[in-house]
Amino acid sequence: MAVCWSCTQEAGESSFCAACGKIQPGRPRDAFALFGIAPRFHLDESVLEKSYRDLSRKLHPDKGGDPEAFKQMYAAYRTLLAVVKE
Q: Left, alpha or beta for 52 (phi > 0: left; psi -120 to 50: alpha)?
A: alpha
Residue 47: exposure state from Cβ atoms within 10 A (0-12, 13-18, ≥19): middle
Mind listing the pLDDT tens digit for each residue in 45-70? 999 999 999 989 888 899 888 788 88
- Distance (Å, rounded) from C-alpha 62 to C-alpha 47? 24
Every domain of the chain and the residues it spans: 31-85
- What pLDDT, on a 0 to 100 scale, did the predictor assign at position 86? 72
pTM attached to this predicted model: 0.71
Q: Where are the alpha helices (DSSP H) in the chain?
A: 31-35, 45-59, 67-85
Answer yes or no: are the C-beta atoms of 71 and 59 closer than 8 Å: no
Confidence of residue 27 (pLDDT cuts 50, 70, 90): low
Instruction: Work out the percent of the chain whose per-residue pLDDT is above 90.
Output: 27
Residue 28 pLDDT > 80:
no
